[in-house]
Structure 1
């Protein structure tokens, strides 16, 4: 299964957040996602960020599923599903 990055933020906005991030590991992950959004291959994006492709894939999943989304009223996907009475695991 291919996981795409939810694009609430543009690549340049994500890079801006990465510049202000205090944790260098998180900043590198954000930069890798921004590079992928700009069309760079996931393999190269991951390598430039000092991680393997699987680590970037795992981070994309967490990025999409664990953070609030503007399109969901600043709720996480799980919170949105719960408020809508939907069980996303089924």
Structure 2
């Protein structure tokens, strides 16, 4: 039996300013920000403010406990992992 360990990056703490989703969202190959991931992050910040945390997965999951959690698939149901062609 294996054990799974979830690594949680605390991006904010209670009473602090909400974090900037453009800084924590998935980056694009052209240096921009993935809009679907930014929207998922912003949903968490809108609902929970500084209590939002980023669960280290790919794509990231933005969570604030019982209030909810969001991923790119909530903002863009058809989102797919970025790929590159050779």
The structure that is strand-richer by fraction is: 2
- TM normalised by structure 2 equals 0.28
Q: Which has the higher contact order (CA 8 A, sep 6+)?
A: 2
